[in-house]
Structure 1
Amino acid sequence: MPALPAQSPAAAVDADHLVALAKATALGDGGLQTARLLNEALALDPQHHEAQILRERLYQTFVPRWHFPMLADQARNQAYAAAIAAKVRPGDIVLDVGCGAGLTAMLAARAGAQHVYTCEQQPLIAEAARQVIARNGLADRITVISKWSHEIVIGSDMPEPADVVISEIVDTVLLGEGALATLTHAMGALAKPGARAIPETGRLLAQPVEAAHLAQQWQPQNAEGFDLSAFHHFANVAQITPGEFSASPPRSLGPAQELFTFDFTRPSIDPGHSQRRLTCAMPGTLHAVLVTFEMQLAEGIAVNNGLASDGHWGRTAYLMEAPCAVKTGAVVSLTAQHDAAQLSLSIDSTRPAATAPQPAQDSDAAIWLNPAWAVPQDTTGPWLPPAPSQDRPTIPSQAAFH
């Protein structure tokens, strides 16, 4: 292996100085100045160990890792491209909520939009999106607004309301990234009456599944002869990555039933409540209730994260407190509730076939919550990493970066 080129002593001193400045720089700008200083240090000394480590830590803090498998999800990309081509018309003003790398904004421009306004509150991501858009020759037709969508002002950030609102700001159960609240504001304050939306609708589905590997991974009964069951209450909700799901997919024990539907063209933040009886169509061991989604982007164009999907979205499974054997025709009664950003699901009873369901007693219900953890948005206190469902990074403290 050839030896790495030696850096001059002066360059090393300059790089050290730039790294010191980067470490002393506040992160209130979303990491922009810190990234610039570290990039300058690495331009002088490409092998500078501390600069490499700090830049990678900065990027992992501010640029969620889900961006990359999402951009590589060809089925998702093709579905959005088809829906945008079907719904965006020449001359349209388009609002793209959640710019990311700029893909959906560029698809809208390619579909004939007069101008696309795309918002991205994370400055590092917004800056990178501008570079992507410029390299694709679309800088004159796409404006990246480095703000949350609810901070956009018509007449200032956008000259007029949008004809089309595009978004892809959903998590594994549609709610955790604040899509309902964001789109309620966007469709009401930033779009023209009767504006088109992509996606149009979404629905949540629940089905009983057998998933021994999942139960063992999240609720192992013992290790080296020791009983671990008292630790299980910390893992009633399993967030399953696409890789984990593909390696050991659950087995469906019965058809999926709809829990909730959402109209993204006329979104609402009103809470919802539903009770369902899931029927097992085959015998097996009931380990969990799997919750998945389907989204219609445009007529005849949909995406989902169901059992047969191999896309980038993860899944959410609500684990049984104790797995139980079920026969064909067994009924699982459950209660599901949601607010603008969270889903809860409780298994009220599991009954054999032909046994009439009895009203669930609240004292017996095991409530399984799926909270969208809130992360303080300040630069002074300690920082905790966001939960997997968090859609946008917040500003961590300077101490957390170091």
Structure 2
Amino acid sequence: MRAPSIHPDAVNLDYFTAYNDVSVHDLMLKDGIRTRAYLNALENSELEGKIVLDVGCGTGILSMFAARAGARKVYAVEASGFVGMTQKLIDDNNFTNKIELINQMVEEIDLPEKVDVIVSEWMGFFLLHESMLESVLNARDRWLKDDGVMLPTTAKIYSALCDMTPTLTKEYGIYQDCYGFDFTAMVPSLQATVPNPAISDVLESQLLTQAQVVKEFDMRTMTSADLESFKSSAIYVPKADGVMHGVCLWFTCDFAGPPGNEDDITVLSTAPGQTLAKSTHWKQTVVMLGGSFAVEKDDQIPVTLNLSKSKTQTRFYTITVEFGE
């Protein structure tokens, strides 16, 4: 295992330190929708004899998928202090000779060769929280062969207006009859303490409108400049009368098939499902609007979403919602 060569700055240090926590990796491994999507994509990628770079390998599970699928060599890059456990897991599963663990930020690695495939589970809440994608693009520009494959290959952020009554009732319903008293005056103050956007499980039945595509990304061609800021304006049309509390965001990632069979796509979706059984550890991101707003079927509701990277906390985004033309 190669040792670290740099000391990350404070923002990066906080980020990587969070991944020292074994419970974070436990959560991701138990997310079957996430993990099976990567398993299917890697098994479908014709990796026999290929060289793979795994950016932010965590437990090494994706590297092991690649090695088991026939990769000749896997470079597994992980900058956090979790690498001791990662190396043990690699050794315990007899991949020591195939998987080389590198304990550095990917921006600082020096590989002896170009790679055929870059795989990474870089996605955060609403796709871009944590801003790991920039590191993946850096690796692509430096180490991917001209005909190399990016996994995932493309991604989309979606949005819809949503009714958060189930969540609000669960959290604050008690204050309507608090042991026989009306304590609803507390609710606005309590709501003000909740982070906004909120990370919450949202059911498909809570979506008031059809989904709109906020932004599309192609990992083969995009640049880091595409991540700085962007906006999406669309008309949202309620499917029925209802009550709107926020704007729900989620994402999908597509993993293209191997060269010559790119249309054989594996899809990872974090969209609201009919039941929570289809929920992922990313859940959904809801930008709460600070109140309840009645909407009517077939209303034409103009909405503009603005997403911009924070100037001070560069791994985070500011999201604003504007209504009207």
TM-score by length of 2: 0.79
Q: What CA distance in whole angstroms lies between the structure 2 residues aligned with 1:207 and 1:172? A: 16
1:107 Cα deviation from its structure 2 partner: 0.6
Q: What CA distance in whole angstroms lies between the structure 2 residues aligned with 1:225 and 1:275? A: 35
Q: Deviations over 1:206-260 (max 9, x none)?
A: 011111133456788987353553664554624335xxx27x7761111111000
Q: What CA distance in whole angstroms lies between the structure 1 residues aligned with 2:97 and 2:24? A: 29
Partner of 2:88: 131
Partner of 1:334: 303
Residues 60 and 337 of structure 1: CA distance in aligned 2, closer, same or farther (over 3 Å):
closer
Question: SS of the counterpart of 1:99?
Answer: coil
- Match of residue 297, structure 1, among 252, 255, 280: 255
1:252 alignment partner AA? L
Could you tell me which runs of 5 or more consecutive residues in structure 2 were left unpaired when the two chains were aligned.
1-5, 9-16, 177-181, 257-263, 310-314
1:131 Cα deviation from its structure 2 partner: 0.7
Q: What CA distance in whole angstroms lies between the structure 2 residues aligned with 1:100 and 1:61? A: 8
Partner of 1:269: 224
Q: What CA distance in whole angstroms lies between the structure 2 residues aligned with 1:335 and 1:344? A: 14
1:304 alignment partner AA? S
Alignment of 1:180 with 2:133, yes or no, is yes
Quick check: 1:209–1:251 contact (8 Å CA) kept in 2?
yes
1:281 Cα deviation from its structure 2 partner: 0.9
Q: What CA distance in whole angstroms lies between the structure 2 residues aligned with 1:234 and 1:88? A: 49
Alignment of 1:321 with 2:301, yes or no, is no
Could you tell me which runs of 5 or more consecutive residues in structure 1 were left unpaired when the two chains were aligned.
1-27, 31-58, 350-357, 360-402
Partner of 2:279: 310
Partner of 1:237: 196
Alignment of 1:98 with 2:41, yes or no, is no
Quick check: 1:253–1:282 contact (8 Å CA) kept in 2?
yes
CA RMSD of aligned residues (A): 2.8
Residues 235 and 108 of structure 1: CA distance in aligned 2, closer, same or farther (over 3 Å):
same
Partner of 2:261: none
Residues 194 and 229 of structure 1: CA distance in aligned 2, closer, same or farther (over 3 Å):
same
1:332 Cα deviation from its structure 2 partner: 3.0
Which structure's CA Rg is the greater one? 1
Partner of 1:286: 244
Quick check: 2:47–2:66 contact (8 Å CA) kept in 1?
no
Alignment of 1:147 with 2:104, yes or no, is yes
Question: SS of the counterpart of 1:188?
Answer: helix
Residues 136 and 236 of structure 1: CA distance in aligned 2, closer, same or farther (over 3 Å):
closer
Superposition pairs of residues 47-62 of structure 1, within 5 angstroms: 62=20
1:65 Cα deviation from its structure 2 partner: 3.0
1:93 Cα deviation from its structure 2 partner: 1.1
Question: SS of the counterpart of 1:118?
Answer: strand
2:60 alignment partner AA? G
Question: SS of the counterpart of 1:65?
Answer: helix
- Match of residue 213, structure 2, among 258, 262, 286: 258
Superposition pairs of residues 107-126 of structure 1, within 5 angstroms: 107-123=65-81, 125-126=82-83
Q: What CA distance in whole angstroms lies between the structure 1 residues aligned with 2:128 and 2:214? A: 13
1:77 Cα deviation from its structure 2 partner: 2.0
Q: Deviations over 1:314-343 (max 9, x none)?
A: 221011222111110123322223346544
Q: What CA distance in whole angstroms lies between the structure 2 residues aligned with 1:108 and 1:234? A: 44
- Match of residue 194, structure 1, among 136, 140, 147: 147
1:117 alignment partner AA? Y
Partner of 2:12: none
Q: What CA distance in whole angstroms lies between the structure 1 residues aligned with 2:307 and 2:204? A: 26
Question: SS of the counterpart of 1:163?
Answer: strand
Q: What CA distance in whole angstroms lies between the structure 2 residues aligned with 1:332 and 1:104? A: 42
Question: SS of the counterpart of 2:224?
Answer: coil
Quick check: 1:93–1:163 contact (8 Å CA) kept in 2?
yes
Residues 163 and 145 of structure 1: CA distance in aligned 2, closer, same or farther (over 3 Å):
same
Percent identical residues: 23
How many matched pairs? 287
TM-score by length of 1: 0.65
Q: What CA distance in whole angstroms lies between the structure 2 residues aligned with 1:297 and 1:182? A: 19
Greater alpha carbon shift after TM alignment, 77-86 vs 330-339: 330-339
Question: SS of the counterpart of 2:133?
Answer: helix
Q: Relative contact order (C-alpha < 8 Å, sep 6+): which is higher?
A: 2
